[in-house]
Structure formats: C-alpha cells, structure tokens
Amino acid sequence: MTTTSQNEPNTGPRRINFRPSASTAIVAAAGSVLVLLVFLAIFADWIAPYDPLRQNLIKAMQGPSAAHWLGTDDLGRDVLSRLIFGCRIAVLAAAEATSIAVLLGVPLGLFIGYRGGWWDWVVMRVVEAVVSIPGIMVAIVIIAILGAGLHRAMIALGILFSTSFLRLARGVVLAEREEVYVRSARVIGASDRRILLRHIFPNIAPPLVVQVTLTVGAVLLAEAGLSFIGLGVQPPDASWGTMLNSAAAYMDLNWFLAVPPGIAIILTVLSVNLLGDVIRDSIGRGVAVGVDPGKPAERFVPAIAATGAESPAPPPLADEVLRVEGLQVLVSGRDGHEVPVITDLSFGISRGETLGLVGESGSGKTITGLSILGLIGAGGRTTHGSIVLNGRDLRRLTPKQLEEVRGNEVAMVFQDPTTSLNPAFTVGSQIAEVLRTKQGLSGKQAWSRVVELIDRVGIPRPEERARAYPHELSGGMAQRIAIARALSCNPSLLIADEPTTALDVTVQQEILDLFRDLQGEFGMAILFVTHDLAVAADISDRISVMYAGEMVEMAEVDALFARPRHPYTRGLLSAMPHASSRNPPLPTIRGNVPRPGSWPSGCRFSNRCDFATAACERPIPLVGTDRLVRCIRAPELELKAAS
C-alpha cells in the first residue's frame, strides 16, 4: 500500500497488527468457545439438566433460579437444557450446510474451470443470477421446493453458499492453468492434467479454509433466521432460532427469554469470525510476506538523543528564509518505543538559494523536509530545536497557524507526481482548490490563475489540460502540475523531495531547468532533497550531506565536489557514475546505512569507515565555519588526500 519508495523508518500507521499476545488470547478464547460448543453438542444428553422437551406448564416463564439456571420458557421447559440441545442443532446445521456447499461448489468449480467453454459460461451466468438474488430469498425458494425442516433448510443453505466455493475453485484452476500452460509451453497432454491437479490442491487449501470459516458463520446466522421465521428447524425441537421465535411472542411478558439464545448465537458466530480473521491473517502473511522484516533490533542508546547543543549553530546567512537549529525527530517503532531519526540538525537557506540535501535511503533527508512542514505523521514528532521560517518558529505555532503557513509560505513537491495528485479530481481543480482556500480567490479567478500557472510550468494547451485527471497525464506533465500547485501561493520556501527520481532522464533535465527558471522568477528558497549527487550538483548552490539522521558535511557545491572532507562524502563521490559511463556505480562503501535505533554510539559512520579509530567511539560534533564536517579525522585525512 505504501508508495514511498524511500525505505524510511516507519513514519505512520502502516498496518494495525494484533499484538501477538492479543491474537493468541483471541484464538484461545474463540477456540474454547467452539470446543465447548462441540462438546455440549456431543454430550447434550448427559450434560443438560432436563429433557429439553419436558414441559411443566405450572412453572412456565420463570426467571433464573437454582433449579433452572436460565429460567423456564412459555411451556415451563428448562431454557438451559434447550440451549444445550440447541448447540447440537447449531453444530449439525453448520457442518451439514458447509459440507454440502464445499462438496457441491468445489468439484463443480474445478470442473468448469478446467473445462471452460460453454460449460463455464452457462454455469457462471447461473451463479451470477443466483448471487443477484438476496441469499435469504434463494433459501426461501429452495425451501419452498424441498419443504421446511432443519435438513432441508441446510440443503438450501448449502446450495446457496456453494456459489462462493464454486467461484473460488474456478478461480484457482484458471490461475494455475495459466501458469502450468505457460511453463509447459502450451503442450496439452495427460501429464499436464496431473500437473494441474498437483498445483491446484496446495493452492486451493488456504482460501478454502478461509471461505469455510466465513461460511460457517453465515450458516449459523442464516439457520437462526430461517428457524426464526419458521422455515428451518421445527418446534418443539430446540434450536436457538426457534427459541427466539417463541421468545418473540412473549416479549411483553418475559423479555429475558430472548437473551440466552441470542447470546449463544452471537458468541458462536463471533468465535467463528474471529478465528476466521486470525486464520485469514496468518495465511495472508504466510503467502505474501514470509519473514517479518520489521523485527526490531537492539534499542538505540538514548544517551545521545539529547545532544542538541553539542554542535555550535552555523552562522546566520544573509537574507535567510529558513533557519533550522538543533532539530531532533523521534518516531515510534513497532514495539512502541521511540527512536531518533534525526538528531542535532542545523542549517539555513537564504532567499533565491538552493540547498541540496543529499544522502542514502534512511539518512533522514525526507523526514527533514516533512518536519519543516510539521507533517511527520502520527508516529513521529520533533522534540528539540527550532525551525524558523521568515522569522517565526514553526514548532511553536498551533496546528491552525501551521496550516496557514503551509502552502502560503512553504510548499512541497513530492517524488512521484502520479501519486501526489489526487486521482479523483481534475488537476486544475486541485490547484484551484488551493487558490480558493488559501488565497480566497473566487472560483472564476482561481480558474484563470490555474490556467496561467499551468501555462507557466510549460504545459501546452493549459485550458484543456486543467480539466484532465492525473491518470491522463504523463509523469513529467504531472510533476509540472505538482510544481504549479506548490507555487500557486508564491511560497518563500519550496521543499522538493526527489522531484525527478521517478521521471525519465530526459524529462529530469527539463524539470530541473523548470525549477531554476521558476526560482529566477519567483525568488523562493529551495530545499532540494535527493539521493542523486549529480542532480544535486546540477541544481544546488550548497550541498548538505546527511548520514544516519545527522548532517555529516556541508559546503558550497564546487568546494564539496572538489574536496570532500568526510569519509562518507568521499565514498559517495567515488561511487558516482561518470557522466559518460553507462556502467553502474561501483559500491565503494561497504555495508548499509544502519537503521534508526541501531546507530553506533560514537561516530555513526564508524562501522563502515575505513579510517575509524578508538577516538571515533564517542559522539562527534559538526564543526567548521564556511564549510562544516562531522569527523574528528577530517583535517588529517584532508592533508593525506592532498598529499
């Protein structure tokens, strides 16, 4: 579901998992309810305190008592005993209807899936027709043919529910047949049939199990409903539905009669459904994911978390639009503990300037952009530092004020233009919406401005394109639209998060040119986030290199490329593909960026650094004046490199 290709730490709610303990508890509870049910069904004759049909009219409709734990019904029969015998009918009903559904649906589904052609067409049309009639009505019609009664009603339900098994089996056959034929190069023979069969059985089992649990729950509810309206189990036999039927007649006199059978139905169906959910989840996981990659590693030592004041703040720039100082961001991991993803981050950008924020996946560069906007999401928060935009600390603003700032003073362009535009609305209307709500333009004014903007970002026939939906535009064009929207309120800061990564190389260049052009015209500051040093070099005035949540080096673009000072920067540069070479870059830095929470306690690069010494074992500050670097060995390494 997630579309951010960056493998950033979990910044928001991805998926709600039952914690293992909760799911075990549910399985245990639901399982024991069902075991109890089957137990009662089998041993009803021994367990029930009374004969379920034995009436005592003198003791009719009594409340719960020591003799009758759940009281007596309208004929003085023991409610508890009837409830226990009701278990038997429930189990019988569920087993009967579900088996019929499986035995009828699966073979027929396999057959038509295998046979195809007319058989398939006709059966599927009939299934469609049956499915388009409300289920209860189908059951009622079948009961009209067969007659009322438990077994006949269950045959009716079996036929009804066989449609879903039929479709399931057919679907599996079609999918597998495709695969087998592809693999065996479309040679049809007896061996293929065997292969087909061999493939079908393992593949049909998991969905079949899931479908069975769904069906059992539905059968129980349907049986109760049919018995309730008098078409299922016939009185005086005790089924939960018939018990409710007679309870309904005496609602005015003794409403309690409706409670025990109702609770029995709910508990049973609930248990079946919950168990089904768990089975579905586990089967789903088993098939789709394999090993859970989100296993938490050892926890980050929090001693470093609060080290914001460690590095001196860089000197203010002239005409500074944004100034970030000592920023720290934490996100909560899967186990609920918070881990830092950005620490001790300080930088500034001035008007008309482009700062490139470069780093590998997981370095925290995208989070930096989002934290400026206050959009880290529910799982994360900024804990230290300040983000001053046009003289105001954004961290001190109320959510309302921040909303005001977004769009007007700062805007963002995202990596994938096709997903950052809402697929449900025309692109023009999405820009117009911003203009109307942020700038108070009328619908008409907004629209003409939209056309202007679209024209300005270099899209031909802007009138027409404004009415297009995102999926009707090419990636490059969509990114132009996203840029137009971001600039619609003339923000003083534009954050561009990998805006060209998802685009073709030729289009990339055009978009970069567009940024430059627009900056020339609008004069905004740009924070350009990218993993691609070449792009950064192309567009940026200065470059800041991020590694494992902190800045390791910052310099004017030429200086950085000419003389990288941090070992990591150096590694990045040497891994850069040569403009003329088509070969992929050689990985010259061993290992991977450590995940948040498992950063080394000293220099975070120390486990990959070829120059690491014992001194690198403690936190390293970011030092320097015109250019900054976070490496205690930088001066000596530079000398070495120069020599």
> For binding to ligand SF4 (CB under 6 A), which residues are involved?
567, 603, 605-606, 609, 611-612, 616, 620, 631-633
SS3 content of the chain, % helix, strand, coil (to 5): 55, 10, 35
Least spacing, CB of residue 74 vs other proteins, in Å? 6
Q: Where are the alpha helices (DSSP H) in 229-342?
A: 240-249, 259-288
Question: Sign of the CA dihedral 497, 502, 505, 511?
Answer: negative
Q: How many residues make contact with other proteins (CB under 8 A)?
A: 106
Which letter does DSSP use for residue 258 in this model? G
Least spacing, CB of residue 531 vs ligand SF4, in Å? 19
Chain positions 212 to 251 lying near other proteins, rule: CB under 8 A, are 217, 221, 224-225, 228-231, 234-236, 244, 246-251
Report whether the peptide linkage leading into residue 564 is cis, meaning its omega lies within 30 degrees of zero. Answer: no
Report whether 78 contacts 61 (CB < 8 A): no
Q: How many C-alpha atoms does 51 have within 13 Å on its Cβ side?
A: 6
**Interface with other proteins, residue 262, by CB under 8 A:** yes
Q: How far is 346 from 523, CA to CA, in rounded Å?
A: 23
Least spacing, CB of residue 538 vs other proteins, in Å? 24
Least spacing, CB of residue 81 vs other proteins, in Å? 13
Q: How far is 394 from 368, CA to CA, in rounded Å?
A: 13
Among residues 36, 140, 175, 283, the one that binds other proteins under rule CB under 8 A: 140
Chain positions 359 to 398 lying near other proteins, rule: CB under 8 A, are 370, 373, 375, 378
Backbone angles phi and psi of 608, in degrees to 5: -120, -5
Chain positions 172 to 201 lying near other proteins, rule: CB under 8 A, are none
SS3 643: coil
Other beta carbons within 10 Å of 207: 17
| Residue 57 touches which of ligand SF4, other proteins, none (Cβ within 5-8 Å per kind) | other proteins
Distance of CA 7 to the CA centre of its chain: 14
Chain positions 435 to 464 lying near other proteins, rule: CB under 8 A, are 437-438
| Residue 603 touches which of other proteins, ligand SF4, none (Cβ within 5-8 Å per kind) | ligand SF4
| Residue 570 touches which of other proteins, ligand SF4, none (Cβ within 5-8 Å per kind) | none
Compare residues 476 and 567 and give the one whose CB is closer to ligand SF4: 567
Least spacing, CB of residue 398 vs ligand SF4, in Å? 40
Among residues 304, 355, 482, 620, the one that binds other proteins under rule CB under 8 A: 482
Give the residue from 263, 260, 164 showing the smallest Cα distance to 218.
Answer: 164
**Interface with other proteins, residue 475, by CB under 8 A:** no
Chain positions 497 to 556 lying near other proteins, rule: CB under 8 A, are none
Give the residue from 339, 320, 301 showing the smallest Cα distance to 386.
Answer: 320
**Interface with other proteins, residue 265, by CB under 8 A:** yes
Rg (CA), the chain: 34
**Interface with other proteins, residue 471, by CB under 8 A:** yes
Least spacing, CB of residue 609 vs ligand SF4, in Å? 3
Report whether 355 contacts 557 (CB < 8 A): no
Q: How many C-alpha atoms does 383 have within 13 Å on its Cβ side?
A: 18
258, 260, 262, 265: CA torsion to nearest 10: -150
| Residue 181 touches which of ligand SF4, other proteins, none (Cβ within 5-8 Å per kind) | none
Q: How far is 352 from 339, CA to CA, in rounded Å?
A: 35
Least spacing, CB of residue 237 vs other proteins, in Å? 9
Binding mask 57-96 for other proteins (x = CB under 8 A): xx-xx------------xxxx-------------------
SS3 352: coil
Compare residues 384 and 633 and give the one whose CB is closer to ligand SF4: 633
Least spacing, CB of residue 311 vs ligand SF4, in Å? 13
Compare residues 72 and 606 and give the one whose CB is closer to ligand SF4: 606
Q: Quick one: which segment of 12-20, 34-42, 81-89, 198-206 binds other proteins (CB under 8 A)?
A: 12-20
